[in-house]
A and B are shown apart, each in its own frame.
Chain A
Amino acid sequence: MLRLRSGRTDVALHTLRDAAGPTLLCLHALRGRAADFAELAPHWPGRVLALDFSGHGASDRPRGGSYTPELLAGDADAALAHTGNACVLGVGLGAYVALLLAGGRPSRVQAAYLLPGAGLEGSRTLPHTLVSGEALRAEVARLLEAASHRDAPGFDPMVCALDADPRPPDYARAHADAATRLLFGEDGELRPPWWEMSRESAAALRAPSDPRAGLTMLYASAEATS
């Protein structure tokens, strides 16, 4: 495991497979960790690295408890600065971050493969102030509860803010339009608005939701674009 500086804190980057060939950077779902990708790693032909996002796994919990998708994109960017060009696999919240990174660092992210999972699955098209009064109070109560238990093991409870962090779907779409290649793992289920809108971009391809089949397609896409 390697500790990398990301802003004012450190994030943990784990090597899951050390092999010659293209690098795969894995980004986990909300409340997940790098080890979630252990079973998948042998199915990639090259080196497999997996990141613990801020507040998760072996990475630091930022003082003050503020989490945004952009902060996590900064974590992934720190990993990218270390690895050089890479393919990115993202699940749930990690898929959202992979999309941001693919748009913000198009020359570094050869292709990104997005799979559904926890975090931003329930993302809204409206800010939290527009949900019902009852839902808003429940959300604030949840945040206040999380704020008082930040020592909990596994992950910082404050990461729950990422579950409902409002980002307009056209924000995600703008990143999709700037990306080199995006693979959306589809299984026919309904996806959040950011996903539905982004998969219509020119960079997008529909991909299998089975990760092994998807990784094969990701590898072929990266070969084609490099």
Chain B
Amino acid sequence: MDATYPGAVAPERHRTLTSLGLRLHVAEWGDPAAEPVLLLHGFYDHVHAFDLLAPLLAERFRVVSYDARGHGESEWPDSYAWQTDVLDAIHVLRDLGRPAHVVGHSRGGGLATDCAAQYPDPVRGLVVLDGFGPPPLSQPNAFQRHRLQGSVPQQLTTWLDWRRGVAARRTFAPASSLEELAARRQVQNPRLSLEWLRYFAAHGSRRVGEGFAWNFDPMASRGAGPFRPEWIAPGWRRLKAPMLAVVGDEPDTWGPLDESILSERLANVPVLTRATVQGAGHFMHIEKPRETAALIRDFLEAA
């Protein structure tokens, strides 16, 4: 892939790790002998989401990331559950064979936090980039409103109907070009530039007939069952590693949470540092990679 973007460095090394029988694509930047940092990407993303942040962290760390199941170049499972995604993170962490820092963005932040809570010993420092769960169901965002239409049993009916059809579906509707793929994504993430999204699409899509489709399993978007945002934060009391909680100060289509909700959730974290990246939204590691990398480095070097 010859797509380029200023400051973006594709991973230097690639390998495969099998977790629960599924091949996961693992990517690395930096000195293999340095202290490892594991990066977990968000929903609909893939390892190249870190092509701006990782080279900056790689000046100091061995940076490791992997495509979550159903994303990027990792295999697609037959079904999904949150806990198996957490087990994937634990498997990658165990495979490093030494303590590591864990950094996660968005959904990857939630996975990183659960990984640190469930498998605390090898996790040295934890950094969460705007991944503190969706707002309460009483104040749903657009994503939740879309998912939570109808009563609880009606949602199951919808899910059962959807499942009868989705198995044969291998892709969302393909775009005619990478340009169109990038433009579509920009509707969902309006703060990301088309230039970046073209780069991101070039590294995260495949040819489908005459068009292009994201390397993303349509089935991954649903089916992990009923989920209660109010359940998330109380479990953070279990954390042993110190957490750096990072948000951007610009409103975005996803996050940040209202400060009242966020501070209430973060009150559960035993050792907490908070930081804000100025002039960035949900994707602060893409919008402001230098500032974000500096925050992470300073925190992890002290951890």
Chain B: interface residue total (CB-CB under 8 A): 44
A150 contacts B79, CB within 8 Å?
no
A63 contacts B157, CB within 8 Å?
no
A64–B87 Cα gap in the complex (Å)? 11
Q: Which chain B residue shows the least CB distance to A147? A: B20
* A124 CB to nearest chain B CB (Å): 11
- When distances are taken between beta carbons in the complex, the residues of chain A under 8 Å from B166 are 7
A168–B80 Cα gap in the complex (Å)? 19
A140 contacts B90, CB within 8 Å?
yes
Q: Which of B73-125 contact A (CB under 8 A)?
A: 75-81, 83-84, 87, 90-91, 114, 117-119
A70 contacts B159, CB within 8 Å?
yes
Contact (A69, B225) CB under 8 Å given A62-B78, A64-B84, A127-B235 = yes
Contact (A65, B90) CB under 8 Å given A140-B118, A171-B226 = no
A140 contacts B223, CB within 8 Å?
no
A56–B228 Cα gap in the complex (Å)? 29
Q: Which of B213-234 contact A (CB under 8 A)?
A: 219, 223-226, 228, 231, 234
Q: Which of A40-80 contact B (CB under 8 A)?
A: 54, 60, 62-71, 73-74, 77-78
- When distances are taken between beta carbons in the complex, the residues of chain A under 8 Å from B119 are 140
Q: Which chain A residue shows the least CB distance to B19? A: A147
A65 contacts B20, CB within 8 Å?
yes
- When distances are taken between beta carbons in the complex, the residues of chain A under 8 Å from B21 are 63-65, 150
A64–B119 Cα gap in the complex (Å)? 20
Q: Is B139 an interface residue (CB 8 A)?
A: no
- When distances are taken between beta carbons in the complex, the residues of chain B under 8 Å from A130 are 231, 234-235
A161 contacts B79, CB within 8 Å?
no
A68 contacts B77, CB within 8 Å?
no
B235 contacts A77, CB within 8 Å?
no
Q: Is A158 an interface residue (CB 8 A)?
A: yes
- When distances are taken between beta carbons in the complex, the residues of chain B under 8 Å from A128 are 83, 235
A146–B76 Cα gap in the complex (Å)? 20
B81 contacts A66, CB within 8 Å?
yes
- When distances are taken between beta carbons in the complex, the residues of chain A under 8 Å from B234 are 129-130
Q: Which of A152-203 contact B (CB under 8 A)?
A: 158, 161, 165-168, 171, 174-175, 177-178
* A83 CB to nearest chain B CB (Å): 15
Q: Which of B170-220 contact A (CB under 8 A)?
A: 219
B114 contacts A167, CB within 8 Å?
no
A136–B119 Cα gap in the complex (Å)? 9
**Contact surface of B with A, Cβ cutoff 8 Å:** 19-22, 69, 75-81, 83-84, 87, 90-91, 114, 117-119, 151-154, 156-157, 159-160, 163-164, 166-167, 219, 223-226, 228, 231, 234-236, 238
Task: List 5 additional A-B contacts (Cβ < 8 Å) besides A105-B157, A129-B238.
Answer: A71-B81, A128-B83, A129-B114, A137-B118, A175-B153
16 A-B pairs with CB atoms under 8 Å apart are A8-B78, A9-B79, A64-B84, A65-B21, A66-B77, A66-B80, A71-B223, A81-B164, A127-B228, A127-B235, A130-B235, A143-B83, A147-B20, A175-B156, A177-B153, A178-B154
